[in-house]
Copies of this chain bind each other. A is one copy, B any other.
Amino acid sequence: MANTTIYDVAGAAKVSLATVSRVMNNPEKVNPETREKVLKVIKELGYRPNAIARGLASRKSTTVGIVMADVSRAATSQLLGGIIDIAKKYDYAVKLFTMDATEDVRDVMRKVVAEQVDGILLLNDELEYDDMGMVVDMIQDAQIPLVLCNTIYTEKDVPTVAIDYVQATYDLTKGLIAEGKKHIYFASTVHKYSINRFKAEGYSKAMQDAGLEPLIFRTSGDVAVNTLHFQEFLKNNTIDALIGVRDSIAVSFINCAIKAGFRVPEDIKVVGLQNTKYAVLSRPTLTCIDTPVYDIGAVSMRLLTKYMSHEDVIDNKVFLPYSIVKRES
């Protein structure tokens, strides 16, 4: 089947190609009878307009660009799940772009812009804060609608969908303090990623408010590496609670602690911040802040569609409610 074009449809329906185009884009502007005739032919021929040609002519690609660090992380892929479902609903295609530490941020962004996406969802929480600024600037310069998805940048007024991480970790930490915990550690990553900064901020504030010293332990997201760190750590430190920036880090800690003879949660209470699938597959299951990851993806995509179709947006910052899922840890 050589792809059928709009000319084929026009010919078969004995109308001009302009009419066929109208049937697809402004059906109300064409006579019901002609419309039916054309629709019938479209169906018979299985015609679907060439998205590229349409994109060039209309200057809209109906494609959104997703910029992220690494697809394979659980939270990222769950965000993507929500994004894709909503994108599909509004008939946008989804293009993926990754940006790792070895790449030049500007190069990647130039490429994204050249791909002519109608809007961008930035979910890269592994950017250093300054790079975030650069990325935001480039997108805004190119006048492409942008929404930050589960990522936060406060230097500029950028549409954002996330949860209030500062408040969440603050409340969580306060809760642990109220239970009598004294040596509460916060396990973060070595790199000072933009998002973890806010998570640490709420934790630190709660500790200080209670007259305790914040104890931030930096390790790798790689299980093989952080296992060694945790083993060493457990030998030399007093700890009765741990908050992990990522669930995988928290679960890895649980395993190390139990193997070292500690009881979880009796000796050390462990809490995650994401509620990914890791949380229900650990033993004991992981108590978590239930970040509504799928929803953050979905809502951010929905917000982006509003910007792309120039709808009025009342509030450009959406902080979704979160809860704490008490499980066994």
- What is the CA–CA distance of A119 and B74 in the complex, to the nearest angstrom? 27
A62-92 at interface with B (beta carbon < 8 Å): 63, 70-74, 76-78, 80-81, 84-85, 88
Q: A129 to nearest B CB, angstroms?
A: 24
Question: Do B71 and A61 touch across chains, with their CB atoms under 8 A apart?
Answer: no
Question: Do A114 and B50 touch across chains, with their CB atoms under 8 A apart?
Answer: yes
A110-157 at interface with B (beta carbon < 8 Å): 110-111, 113-116, 141-143
- What is the CA–CA distance of A88 and B104 in the complex, to the nearest angstrom? 13
- What is the CA–CA distance of A81 and B68 in the complex, to the nearest angstrom? 11
Nearest chain B residue, comparing its CB with the CB of A284: B255
Chain B residues with Cβ below 8 Å from A72 are 74, 77-78, 80-81, 294
Chain B residues with Cβ below 8 Å from A52 are 52, 55-56, 61, 116
- What is the CA–CA distance of A240 and B111 in the complex, to the nearest angstrom? 54
Chain B residues with Cβ below 8 Å from A48 are 110-111, 113-114
Instruction: Indicate if A172 sits at the interface (CB-CB under 8 A).
Output: no
Q: A52 to nearest B CB, angstroms?
A: 4
Chain B residues with Cβ below 8 Å from A223 are 277, 280-281
Chain B residues with Cβ below 8 Å from A283 are 254-255, 258-259, 282-283
Instruction: Indicate if A94 sits at the interface (CB-CB under 8 A).
Output: yes
Instruction: Indicate if A1 sits at the interface (CB-CB under 8 A).
Output: yes
Interface size class of A (residues with CB under 8 A): 35 or more
Q: A124 to nearest B CB, angstroms?
A: 14
Instruction: Indicate if A278 sits at the interface (CB-CB under 8 A).
Output: yes
Chain B residues with Cβ below 8 Å from A248 are 277, 281
- What is the CA–CA distance of A277 and B251 in the complex, to the nearest angstrom? 11
- What is the CA–CA distance of A258 and B115 in the complex, to the nearest angstrom? 51
Instruction: Indicate if A11 sits at the interface (CB-CB under 8 A).
Output: no
| Choice from B3, B116, B224 contacting A280 with Cβ under 8 Å | B224
Question: Do A116 and B51 touch across chains, with their CB atoms under 8 A apart?
Answer: yes
Question: Do A95 and B98 touch across chains, with their CB atoms under 8 A apart?
Answer: no
Instruction: Indicate if A93 sits at the interface (CB-CB under 8 A).
Output: yes
Chain B residues with Cβ below 8 Å from A27 are none
Instruction: Indicate if A321 sits at the interface (CB-CB under 8 A).
Output: no
Which of A71, A73, A84, A141: most chain B CB closer than 10 A? A71
Known: A93-B95, A248-B277, A258-B283. 14 other contacts (CB 8 A): A1-B143, A48-B114, A51-B114, A52-B52, A53-B56, A72-B78, A73-B77, A74-B74, A88-B98, A94-B95, A94-B96, A223-B280, A281-B281, A282-B282
